[in-house]
Amino acid sequence: MDERIKQVMGAVFSVDPKSISDDASPGSIEQWDSLRQMNLILALEEEFDIRFSVEGMDQLISFKLIKLSIEELMQ
């Protein structure tokens, strides 16, 4: 799952997925802005065939939190 998330993040942020660390966040990825945040959410929903709640979207501010949210939705 980690690699799939990093592949999506890499595509959305136009960075090498291998450069995305487990601590990745808007502070460590310069291209992570509000527009790309929305694109990331849509891309993750499509990749994993899930839907984030509106409240849940506010929590998707780091790789770790994204991974946790996806794991919860896939249970």
Helix 2-13 / helix 63-73 crossing angle, nearest 10 deg: 120
Number of domains, the chain: 1
DSSP 68: H
Domain that holds residue 55: 2-73
- CATH code where residue 55 lies: 1.10.1200.10
Q: What is d(CA 3, CA 72) in angstroms, rounded to the nearest whole number?
A: 17
pLDDT in tens, the chain (75 residues): 999 999 999 999 999 999 999 999 999 999 999 999 999 999 999 999 999 999 888 889 999 999 999 999 998
The count of other CB atoms within 10 Å of the CB of residue 75 is: 4
d(C-alpha 45, C-alpha 41), whole Å: 6
